Amino acid sequence: MLKSTAAALVLATILPASAFAECVEVTQGNITVSAAWSRATIGTERPAVFYVTIRNDGGSDERLVGIETPVADMPMLHESVMENGAARMSHVDQIVIAPIDAVSLEPGGYHGMLMDLQTELVEGTTFPVTLLFEKSGPVTIDTAVLPLRAREAACEEAL
């Protein structure tokens, strides 16, 4: 009885903590990168996606100028744009993060487009992505592979 109560108590503490786990966060200089996630893929034929939140605590603009990852030979910054109800993706050279502001790469907007996928992305695993910043240099973060059906990061952003 005592044992099961204790187990229940432990579970009650752990479960909410894991359901709303705080996002992995990496800080370098004025830049904090968090909530990196992707969707599982079927094989390697189709491009995968990369979403992340970037916060700039500095006093001037910062620019994300590219991404690199061992899982894809052709990673690129993309933006989905809507024109008269039609969606299209296009390449963007840079993403500006204003001072004391945050920018999210998220569904329907900016995203990392991971082309020439080298390995299938398996749900529940992670892979590293390095974000290349103009001033702060490279910042590497572990990216969570969520189910294909995921619509948002599975963690709480500490913004």
Residues that bind other proteins (CB under 8 A): 39-40, 42-43, 45-49, 74, 76, 78, 80, 82-91, 107-108, 111, 113-116, 148-151
User: What residues numbered 97-136 form the site for Cu ion, per CB under 5 A?
Assistant: 113
Residues contacting 1, CB < 8 A, separation 6+: none
Whichever of 113 and 117 has its CB closer to Cu ion, that residue is 113
What is the C-alpha separation between 94 and 3, in angstroms, rounded?
A: 56
What is the C-alpha separation between 136 and 45, in angstroms, rounded?
A: 33
What is the C-alpha separation between 52 and 34, in angstroms, rounded?
A: 6
The C-alpha angle 10, 15, 16, rounded to 5 degrees, equals: 115
Shortest distance, CB of residue 89 to Cu ion, whole angstroms?
A: 4
Shortest distance, CB of residue 78 to other proteins, whole angstroms?
A: 7
Shortest distance, CB of residue 159 to other proteins, whole angstroms?
A: 21
User: What residues numbered 64-83 form the site for Cu ion, per CB under 5 A?
Assistant: 78
Q: Which one-letter amino acid corresponds to residue 29? A: G
- Interface residues with Cu ion (CB under 5 A) are 78, 89, 113
